Amino acid sequence: MEHIEIESVTEQIETESVTEQIETESVMETHRTESVTHHIETESVVEHIETESVMEHIETKSVMEQIETESVMEHIQTESVMEHIETESAMEHIETESVMEHIQTESVMEHIETESVTEHIETVSDSNSFKLAKQNAVSCLPL
């Protein structure tokens, strides 16, 4: 009888030992699973942070490109205004030259008219002198 009791107790101890071992392995697996889950969650957070960092970098680059584009546009507008001012200045210069040529032409025309009037006066004066000389010559003739 004692032998059967010893075997029964031994079997019970072995069963308890196996049960404890199974429970221990189960707890270990749970810890491993939690550790893996925590690792996965950590990697996910890191990837999220990296993604946000990349997005911020892209947004920063986009803003920088927009600022550069605006700067180029302002430069182009400034050049366009400068060209417009230069064109207006050139047009004013051409208009000034045209007015100067017109004034010179009018001055030459007035000079020509003045010379023409002077010649006319000289011609009339010569004609009057000739008539006067003719009258004097006729009056000097004996009758």
pLDDT tens digit string along 35-60?
989 998 999 888 999 999 989 999 99
Q: Give the C-alpha separation, 119 to 131, whole Å.
A: 18
Angle at 90 between CA 84 and CA 92, to 5 degrees: 105
DSSP 8-state code for residue 141: S
Query: How far does Cα 4 stand from its chain's mean position?
Result: 100
The whole-number pLDDT of residue 103 equals 86
The whole-number pLDDT of residue 65 equals 92
Residue 65 burial by Cβ neighbours in a 10 Å radius (0-12, 13-18, 19+): exposed
